[in-house]
Amino acid sequence: MTETEPHLESSNPSSLGVEPGLRIEPGRCIRCAAAASMAPTLFSLGSRGNQVLKQPETARERALARSASLLCPVRAILFEERGRE
C-alpha cells in the first residue's frame, strides 16, 4: 500500500480545474463540525455534511477559511484565495 490515496489528497482547487475560492469537495466530509465551529459565518453543518454559506470577503474571514482548510482531517475543505497563485 502507498501513503497517498486519491480521495484524501490533492487540495489545490486550481489543479482540479475549478474557480478559486472556498468550497467543499463532494463526498469527503465526515461531519466533524470543526469548520462550522471555527467559522460559523462561512460554514453550516447539514445532515449530509458541511456547506459553504458564503465566500470569505474580509481578511479575517479569509484567514478563518484558510485555517479550516488546514485543519480538516480529510481535506474536504478547499480554499484558494482569489487573485493569488
Partner 1 sequence: MTAEARDASVAQSSAKPEAGVITTSTDIVGDALYYRYFEQAEKVRWKISDVPWHLLEAERVSPYWKQVITEVARSELTTFDGTRQFMARFGHDPDFSQWIAIWLYEETKHPQVLMMWLRHLGVDLDDQFLVKGRQTAQFAASWLGTLTLNLIAEMMAAEAYVTLSRYAPEPVLKNLALRIAGDEARHAAHFFGYGQRLVERATDLKFERKNALEVLYLWLNTQTRLEHPIGQILHDVEATDTFRDGVRQGGFITDQLRDRICALVGDMIGIPLRGKKDVIRAAIELGRKR
Report how far residue 4's alpha carbon sits from residue 26's, in angstroms, rounded to the nearest whole number.
Answer: 19
Segment interacting with partner 1 (CB under 8 A) among 18-26, 28-36, 51-59: 28-36
* In contact, 42 and 64? CB cutoff 8 Å: yes
Place of cell 489543479: 15
Q: Which three cell numbers stand for residue 76?
A: 474536504
Nearer residue to partner 1 within complex by CB, 53 or 74: 74
Nearer residue to partner 1 within complex by CB, 16 or 74: 74
Q: Write out the residues near partner 1 by the rule CB under 8 A.
A: 1, 3, 5, 8-9, 30-38, 40, 45, 63, 66-68, 70-74
